[in-house]
Structures are given as C-alpha cells and as structure tokens.
C-alpha cells in the first residue's frame, strides 16, 4: 500500500504571496486616480488584513464567496475614505492580473515527481475551486497529482479534521488508511501543521523564510529538502 503524500498549494507549491503582491501593484498603478495619495504599502497591508479577516468569516460560513470577493476591496477602500463602489471593477482587474502572475516555487516539480515515485500524491487546499483547479492545470500538476481535495468541494476548511479525512477517503475509499503513512507539507503553522497533526497526519512545515516556530515541528526551507522525508 502506498503512502499518502499530500501538499498545500498556495505559498507551498505555488508562490501565491508573490503573485498577489505583483497583481496588487499592477492594479494599484492601473487605478491611480482611485487610490489617489495612498501609498502602495498602505494599500497592500490593508487589503491583506481585510482578506484574512474575511477568509476567517468565510471559513465560519458567516459570509459567502461573492461577499468575500467584493469586501476584500470594498472594506479597505472605505477605510481610507475612497470610493468603495469601484470594488467590483478593481477586484475583477486584480483577479485577471493575479492569474497571470502565478509561478511555482523552486523545487515544486522536482518534489512532486519524487513524491509520485514514492507514494500517492494529492493536493489539499483551502481556496476557490476554479482558481485552484486552474493553477493545477496551468502547471500540469496532474502529471503527478492523483487527488485534489479542496475546501469548497469538501465543505470544510483546514485546519478542520473533516478536510484531512476527506483526503484519506479520496485516496483509500471508505475502508480507510490501513496503516499507510500520511504526510502533509504546508507553509502555515496553524492550518497546515496543527490541522494535519490533529487529524493523524505527519506534518512538515515549509518555512522558506526560516521564521521562528511556535512549537517543534519538522520543517524545510527548500521544497527539495522535503524529498528525503517522503519515503
Ligand atoms: Mg499555504
């Protein structure tokens, strides 16, 4: 029986934060009149803060995805006294640029190729279905990835155990995991490491910035450093 080797997508296999920053900078320039005297740094900080807050509310099913999409632009625009009515147009322009800015992180393909030799490979991700599926298609990750488990499709978000259990069911069927090793690699301590650990997976933290760890966990600074951990 093959080991289950599952990976986070955003900021693990794919440089989401870089794509977000590039797309936000381009959008900020394209809508210069709207943003007025605001600096890009102020805008990006406020956008990211709003985005995190709204994702939390979305994860608790307090708001829907349309509201999240609109308000992550509308809320920071209002907070700076700018025209929140432009949120939809700006949001659409941003998403178009975000899609163009996607890049894989260094070593992502090498890691997946090695994982596919050693086990059954999956992607387990919070995030919007069309975007996550489009990322997988853009980079041809289905060459190695057999299972794609997305929060929007499962109806639960990491760190909830339900999404990790859905990954086990996707790979093993209803009979369960029967002694296979389950490894999950992701970049977020709470959602990825603590979520995976609580669901009975072996967590590995991708920590490229070598940030301080809140608690002990196996961690790697480069994706290819995780290859020896897969077997
Ligand atoms: Mg991530």
What does the DSSP assignment read for the chain? -PEEEEE-TBTTTB-HHHHHHHHHHHHHHHTHHHHTT--HHHHHHHHHHHHHHHHHHHHTTSS-HHHHHHHHHHHHHHHTT--GGGHHHHHHHHHHHHHHT--BPTTHHHHHHHHHHHEEEEEEE-S-HHHHHHHHHHTTGGGT--EEEEHHHHT--TTSHHHHHHHHHHHH-TT--TT--EEEEES-IIIIIIHHHHTT-EEEEE-TT-PPPSS---EESSGGGGHHHH-
| Ligand 1 centroid to residue 9 C-alpha, Å | 6
Asked if residues 123 and 13 have their Cβ atoms less than 8 Å apart, the reply is: yes
Q: What is the pLDDT of residue 177?
A: 66
| Ligand 1 centroid to residue 32 C-alpha, Å | 30
Q: How many residues does the chain have?
A: 231
Asked if residues 213 and 231 have their Cβ atoms less than 8 Å apart, the reply is: no
Q: What is the pLDDT of residue 173?
A: 84
Q: Give the burial class of 163: count Cβ atoms within 10 A of its Cβ; 0-12 exposed, 13-18 middle, 19 or more buried.
A: buried
Asked if residues 130 and 9 have their Cβ atoms less than 8 Å apart, the reply is: no
Condensed to tens digits (0 to 9), the pLDDT of residues 63-109 reads: 999 999 999 999 999 999 999 999 999 999 999 999 999 999 999 99
pTM: 0.94
5-14 average pLDDT score: 98
Q: What is the pLDDT of residue 2?
A: 86
| pLDDT value at 151 more than 80 | yes
| Ligand 1 centroid to residue 52 C-alpha, Å | 13
Condensed to tens digits (0 to 9), the pLDDT of residues 126-138 reads: 989 999 999 999 9
| Ligand 1 centroid to residue 94 C-alpha, Å | 20
Q: Give the burial class of 88: count Cβ atoms within 10 A of its Cβ; 0-12 exposed, 13-18 middle, 19 or more buried.
A: middle
| Ligand 1 centroid to residue 16 C-alpha, Å | 8
Q: What is the pLDDT of residue 227?
A: 98
Strands 3-7 and 182-186: parallel
Q: What is the pLDDT of residue 179?
A: 79
Residue of 214, 223, 188, 217 lying closest to 204 (CA atoms):
217
Could you tell me the CA-to-CA distances from 207 to 15, 23, 218 in Å, in that order?
13, 23, 10
Mean confidence (pLDDT) of the chain: 96
| Ligand 1 centroid to residue 81 C-alpha, Å | 32
Confidence band of 45 (pLDDT split at 50, 70, 90)? very high
| Ligand 1 centroid to residue 7 C-alpha, Å | 9
| Ligand 1 centroid to residue 126 C-alpha, Å | 8
Confidence band of 174 (pLDDT split at 50, 70, 90)? confident
Condensed to tens digits (0 to 9), the pLDDT of residues 18-39 reads: 999 999 999 999 999 999 999 9
Give the tokens for residue 80: 């700076």
Q: What are phi and psi of 173, to 5 degrees?
A: 75, -170
Q: What is the pLDDT of residue 24?
A: 98
146-175 average pLDDT score: 93
Q: What is the pLDDT of residue 56?
A: 92
| pLDDT value at 143 more than 80 | yes
| Ligand 1 centroid to residue 116 C-alpha, Å | 21
Domains annotated for the chain, with CATH where assigned, are 3-15+103-230 (3.40.50.1000), 16-100 (1.10.150.240)
Compute the Cα dihedral for 158, 164, 169, 174 and give only its sign.
negative
């Amino acid at each position: 029986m093959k080991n289950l080797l599952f990976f986070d997508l955003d900021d693990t296999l794919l440089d989401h934060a870089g794509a977000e920053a590039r797309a936000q900078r381009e959008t900020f320039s394209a809508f210069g009149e709207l943003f007025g005297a605001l600096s890009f740094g102020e805008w990006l900080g406020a956008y990211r803060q709003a985005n995190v807050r709204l994702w939390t509310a979305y994860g608790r099913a307090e708001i829907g995805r349309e509201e999240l999409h609109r308000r992550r632009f509308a809320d920071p625009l209002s907070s700076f006294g700018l025209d929140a009515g432009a949120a939809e147009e700006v949001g659409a322009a941003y998403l178009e640029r975000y899609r163009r800015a996607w890049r894989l992180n260094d070593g992502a393909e090498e890691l997946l190729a090695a994982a596919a030799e050693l086990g059954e490979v999956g992607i387990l991700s919070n995030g919007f279905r069309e975007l996550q599926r489009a990322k997988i298609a853009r980079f041809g990750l289905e060459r190695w990835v057999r299972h794609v488990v997305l929060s929007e499709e499962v109806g639960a978000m990491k760190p909830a155990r339900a999404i990790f259990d859905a990954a086990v069911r996707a790979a093993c069927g209803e009979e369960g995991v029967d002694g296979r090793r389950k490894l999950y690699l992701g970049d977020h301590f709470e959602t990825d490491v603590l979520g995976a650990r609580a669901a009975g997976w072996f967590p590995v933290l991708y920590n490229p910035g070598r940030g301080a760890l809140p608690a002990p966990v196996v961690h790697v600074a480069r994706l290819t450093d995780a290859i020896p951990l897969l077997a």
